[in-house]
Structure 1
Amino acid sequence: MKLCSTWYLAGCLGLTLFFSACKKETIEKSRLREFNLTSTVNGGNYDIKVALPENYAASGEYHTLYVLDAKLDFDLVALECERQARDRHREGVLVVGIGWGHDRLDDYTPTPSKIGSGGADKFIRFIETELIPRIESEFHAVPARAARGILGHSAGGLFVGHSFTNHNGVFASYLCLSPSFWYDDAIVLRNEKVNREQNRTGRGNFFLGLGEMEEKMRPPFVGFRSALQTYYPNYAVQDYITPGKGHLDSKETNIKRAVTFFFDNI
Structure 2
Amino acid sequence: MKKIGIIALALFIQQVSAQTNRFVYQVTMKPDAENKTDIKTENTYLDISQEKSIFYSENRIKRDSIMQKAFQGGGGRGNINRDQMESLRTNINYSVEKDKTNQKTYFKDRIGRDIYSYEEDRPLAWKISSETTKLGEYKVQKAETDFAGRKWTAWFTTDLPYQDGPYKFGGLPGLIVKVEDDKGDYSFDLMKNYKIAELPTLNQFGNTLKVKRTDFIKQQQKFKTDPMSFMNQGGGPGGMAAVTRIGGGRGQGGGNQDPADMRKRMEGRVKEEAKKNTNPIELQ
**Which of structures 1 and 2 has the larger relative contact order (alpha carbons within 8 angstroms, sep 6+)?**
2
Establish whether TM, by shorter chain, passes 0.5: no
TM-score (norm 2): 0.24
TM-score (norm 1): 0.25
Q: Please say which structure displays the higher CA radius of gyration.
A: 2
